[in-house]
Amino acid sequence: MKEIVFVTSNRSKFEWAKERLEPFGIKIVHCNLELPEIRDFNVEKVASAKAKQAYQILKKPLLVEDRGFYVEALNGFPGPYINLMHKTIGIKGLLKLMIGEKNRKATFISVLAYIPSGDEIKLFREVEEGFVLDKIIDGDCRGWGDIMKIYGHEAFPEKALSQLSDKEWRDYQKIISERDYLSQFYLWLKDRL
């Protein structure tokens, strides 16, 4: 079984990767490293920089994931600065910025960076289209952060992801897993195992 370290402080990201990749013979080991993030609006550059920093410390094959939440009406804000947005204006502030906006389109762009050696890096990009609701809907964010209280997906047009039932959550996970970065990574890696 091939072993790869997944560097993340988000336990939910790790559990999702482990659940998805271990059936394919890829053992995922969790490593919680605090890595400084470069300031860039491009999530690919942020993920690449974090992967290189982590490799300099661990010196072994690893994965790093980073994501951005791009709200079309706000010229892409908050982008990869989701954590900063949460710590400053929060989701209430984001909704205030959206008052009167008809365009509610929002996109999650997630990038998985795989670095097997110090001189090689491979990026896998996932794009998920959705929308910003006009109010906060409390519920279970399943470890993914408060953004799930204001974000909806086309499969559930009237709901925030936080209010999905367990069955709806599994359906949502199935929908996104068909084209997510973990599927892309596995398909690329299986030819190299």
- By annotation, the residues acting in catalysis are 66
CA distance readout (Å), 85 to 138, 149, 192:
18, 14, 39
CA 83, 113, 182, 63 dihedral sign is negative
41: number of Cβ within 10 Å: 15
